[in-house]
Structure 1
């Protein structure tokens, strides 16, 4: 039976275990209950830029833990020793040259012959490149291909977070629709129109404050999001957008001029994203109608 075969297996030879610890590229360490390093394999020595004799006996949070996370790291070891359980974690580790790498950790509590926890063993894997690749894929998935800013789906994801009835704090929108964009397409071609959309996206992006977002809603429509229900800020942002777009664009085919109609709306937690966008859209059409009437002298 499988159980019998398992009992007849030989224990791993100490020399084989030592060879594995020395050869693996994983960052292996054992940390005592007081936080002092008991073991650091060659991969970890290379990572920290310190030989084993400098690492053993040092406090681990003074070697590779980012300063802002030192207290959390100390607490995690203390809880592991107290409970006999350690959990997987992921954090930034400091390299010997002062850089930061993202490390995924598998942690286990070591027990003495009496069954008492005395140390935590960690297998760390550098996942920096993997996480950066995932972040690029995520950004690409949420980015409008033409303009390089978030697309409509990303906007609605943000709206749902801000308008969530339990955790959201509300937000405000400025819905922007270009005036005269069709004329640019008709006179200069779609290539010029695409260039103009990218240029508008760049100008609008330059207006954003912390946490604010601009997304291409579709066609020649853009939406600016303020991550709080602040009517003064969204009104100021709408004015800035109008002034920015009104400045002529120096394109490869000559100066291009368009205007923009902007409608604003403020949303509170619990409101549906579609409803908030619809209110901002209606306000934009009201502004566009008023603009046309003014140009006609009505």
Structure 2
């Protein structure tokens, strides 16, 4: 039994020494009492430099120090700790995202005396997840938020409890189909990307410009005062009268715009439908004035 116990101890020591996980023990005075080689490598400091130092001066991001101290105090007081995830400072002050499993260590009398923290560097994993989310919410052709991102934003603005409402411009390019049919999809795609960039340049810093699909674009304006929507619609109309430079030569298209204001509690698809209906009204009125205008 003695030899088995020693073997188990030696194995435990070897695991702590060899694991790539970041292992440290923090006592009730918030000082590091144990670090493993992975922590030494992560921080760029030796165990002699780390042991005895306050943990919050070693790896905790400055803006998280108060929360970290509170979490440690609560765990020591209650004897219970919960998994966490936060930014840690690696060697050279580089920020890394670390997922933590924390356990409370008890003395022989059963009282909490320290916390054992096992951290995993999940920076690349979180970056991949964020990139996947961006791709899932981004229109590949124009780089704008796509339909999914648009409706996510509308749900937030129109939430019956937390939303403050929003205005919406529904923009449909006039004459795009003729350009696409005449010059081909490559030219048409370039024109859509340039139209998106022009529309984005006119939007305010808090506005969301999204591609709904095809040659339809939407601008979401938080708050959405009707007067502001009308002014923005006029600016967009004027801007789209300017020709677009293109490898096929200068191309001229127009834009039909409808707008509507949504209040908290309104369904996003209903707001989009109202702005869409207003856009078709504007397109019909223009055609009546000038039957030769592109649709």
Normalising by structure 1, we get a TM-score of 0.90
| CA-CA distance at 1:70 after TM superposition | 0.8
Question: Where do 5+ consecutive residues of structure 1 fail to align?
Answer: 1-8
Of residues 119-128 and 156-165 in structure 1, the stretch that sits farther from structure 2 once superposed is: 156-165
- Is residue 85 of structure 2 the alignment partner of residue 90 of structure 1? yes
Give the secondary structure class of the aligned counterpart of 2:17: helix
For 2:232 and 2:56, how far apart are their aligned partners in 1? Answer: 45
| CA-CA distance at 1:228 after TM superposition | 3.1
For 1:194 and 1:60, how far apart are their aligned partners in 2? Answer: 54
- Name the Cα RMSD after superposition: 2.1
Q: Aligned match of 1:46 in 41, 44, 49?
A: 41
Matched residue, 2:216: 221
Q: Taking structure 1 as reference, are residues 210 and 112 closer, same or farther at Cα in structure 2, changes over 3 Å only?
A: farther
Does the 8 Å CA contact 1:169/1:229 hold for their aligned counterparts? no
Normalising by structure 2, we get a TM-score of 0.90
For 1:38 and 1:208, how far apart are their aligned partners in 2? Answer: 55
Matched residue, 1:289: 284
For 1:200 and 1:280, how far apart are their aligned partners in 2? Answer: 20
- Is residue 90 of structure 2 the alignment partner of residue 101 of structure 1? no
- Is residue 15 of structure 2 the alignment partner of residue 20 of structure 1? yes
For 1:17 and 1:263, how far apart are their aligned partners in 2? Answer: 69
Of residues 125-134 and 277-286 in structure 1, the stretch that sits farther from structure 2 once superposed is: 277-286
Q: Aligned match of 1:252 in 247, 250, 260?
A: 247
Structure-to-structure mapping, 1:165-244, within 5 angstroms: 165-244=160-239
Matched residue, 1:3: none
For 1:33 and 1:203, how far apart are their aligned partners in 2? Answer: 59
- Provide the aligned length of Structure 1 versus Structure 2: 289
Q: Taking structure 1 as reference, are residues 213 and 39 closer, same or farther at Cα in structure 2, changes over 3 Å only?
A: same
Of residues 245-254 and 15-24 in structure 1, the stretch that sits farther from structure 2 once superposed is: 245-254
Question: Where do 5+ consecutive residues of structure 2 fail to align?
Answer: none
Does the 8 Å CA contact 1:29/1:121 hold for their aligned counterparts? yes
